[in-house]
Amino acid sequence: MANTRNIAFIGAGNMPQSIIGGMVRGGYPASAIYASNPSRPKLDTLAQKHGIHTSQDNLEVVKQADVIVLSVKPQLMADVCAHLREHVSDLADKLVITIAAGIRIEKYHQYLGDNVRIVRVMPNTPSLVGEGVSGLAADPQVTQDDKDFVTEVFDYVGKTIWVKDEDGIDVLGAVAGSGPAYFFEFMAGLQQVAEELGFSSEDARAMVQQTALGAAQMASQSDLSLVELRKQVTSKGGSTAKGIEAYQAAGLDDISARAVKAAVARNQEMAKLF
C-alpha cells in the first residue's frame, strides 16, 4: 500500500464487518483501523477478530482518523453528519467515504460543508472473503491521491469499478450491492427442493453452494459468454433443458429485470428521503 491512512468506520454493522474483515485479511494494518457503534457487541467482535481500535463514541474515532467511512443506515445519516459537523473542526482536512445507499454527494455537502471531500462507495458483503465488488464515484474536489487510496482500500476486498456518475452507483448497488441477497434467495430455494426430494440439509446445502462457487469460478475464468456457458450444460433433449424451460416459462429474465429496477427505484427514493 502506497500510504496507510488512519481510517474510522462510523457504524459497525454488517457491511463494515465485511469490509474491515477483508481489509485486515488482505494486509491493511489493523492498528490503522477504527470503528464506532452505539452498542458494544459488534465492536467487541471486531476487536477480538481483527484487533482494530473501537469506541462507542463517534467523535473519539473521528479524532484519530484521516479518513472517515460513514456506515450507518441512510435514515440516520443526517443526524450522524450533523453531530460530526458540530463537534469536528477539521472535517475538511479529512477524506469522507460514504457507503450508504441512495444519498447523493450533493446532500453530504449540505450535511458536512461545501469543502469536504466526499467519495461514494457501493460495496457488497462478499468483501469479507475478498470477493467483493465496489462501485466508486467522487466529488470533483477529491484529489487523485484520495482516489488512488480509496481504490487501493477497496481492492483489498475485491474488485473496484469507478462509475461515470452517481446514477451508476444506484444501478451497481441494485445489481451487486443487493446481488448477494438475490443469489442467497435463489440458492435457498434450490437447497429447499433438494431437501424435499430426500437430501439432508447438510448435503443439500453443500451441493448448492459448491455448484454456485463452481459456476462463478467458471464464469470468471472463461472468455465465453454466460449464455454460452449455460448452453454447455444444456444437452439437447436432456434434463437441464427441461429445468431451463421451467425457468424461462416463469420469466426468469423478466423477474431479474423487475428486481433490479425495483432496487434502483428505492435507491432513487432514498436519495429524496434522506
Ligand X SMILES: NC(=O)C1=CN([C@@H]2O[C@H](COP(=O)(O)OP(=O)(O)OC[C@H]3O[C@@H](n4cnc5c(N)ncnc54)[C@H](OP(=O)(O)O)[C@@H]3O)[C@@H](O)[C@H]2O)C=CC1
Tell how far CA 159 is from the center of its chain.
11
**Cell numbers placing 217:** 469460478
The item of ligand A1CAB, ligand X, none sharing an interface with residue 123, based on CB under 5 to 8 Å by kind, is ligand X
Question: Is 72 a residue that touches ligand X (CB under 6 A)?
Answer: yes
Q: Is 9 left (phi over 0), alpha (psi -120 to 50) or beta?
A: beta
185, 179, 130: which is closest to 153 by C-alpha? 130
Binders of ligand X among residues 97 to 126 (CB under 6 A) are: 99-101, 122-125
Q: Which residues are annotated as a binding site for NADP(+)?
A: 10-15
Residue whose grid cell is 457488497: 124
CB-based burial, 232-265: b 16+ in 10 Å, e otherwise: eeeeeeeeeeeeeeeeeeeeeeeeeeebbeebbe
Question: Is 56 a residue that touches ligand X (CB under 6 A)?
Answer: no
Question: Is 87 a residue that touches ligand X (CB under 6 A)?
Answer: no
Question: Is 11 a residue that touches ligand X (CB under 6 A)?
Answer: yes
The item of ligand A1CAB, ligand X, none sharing an interface with residue 191, based on CB under 5 to 8 Å by kind, is none
Question: Is 53 a residue that touches ligand X (CB under 6 A)?
Answer: no
Q: How far is the CB of 270 from ligand A1CAB (least distance, A)?
A: 7
Question: Is 54 a residue that touches ligand X (CB under 6 A)?
Answer: no
Q: Is 233 left (phi over 0), alpha (psi -120 to 50) or beta?
A: alpha
CB closer to ligand X, 124 vs 191: 124
Question: Is 37 a residue that touches ligand X (CB under 6 A)?
Answer: yes
Are 171 and 264 a contacting pair, CB within 8 Å?
yes
Which residues contribute to the site for ligand A1CAB (CB under 6 A)?
101, 173, 177-178
Q: Determine the residue with CB nearest ligand A1CAB.
A: 177
Say which amino acid occupies 35.
A
Question: Is 58 a residue that touches ligand X (CB under 6 A)?
Answer: yes
Q: Give SS3 for 175.
A: helix
Q: How far is the CB of 3 from ligand X (least distance, A)?
A: 25
- Cα 66 to Cα 195: distance, rounded to the nearest angstrom: 51
- Which parts of 37-131 are beta strand (E)? 53-55, 67-70, 95-98, 117-122
Q: Determine the residue with CB nearest ligand X.
A: 13
Question: Is 153 a residue that touches ligand X (CB under 6 A)?
Answer: no
- Which residues form the interface with ligand X (CB under 6 A)? 10-16, 36-39, 42, 58, 71-74, 76, 80, 99-101, 122-125, 177
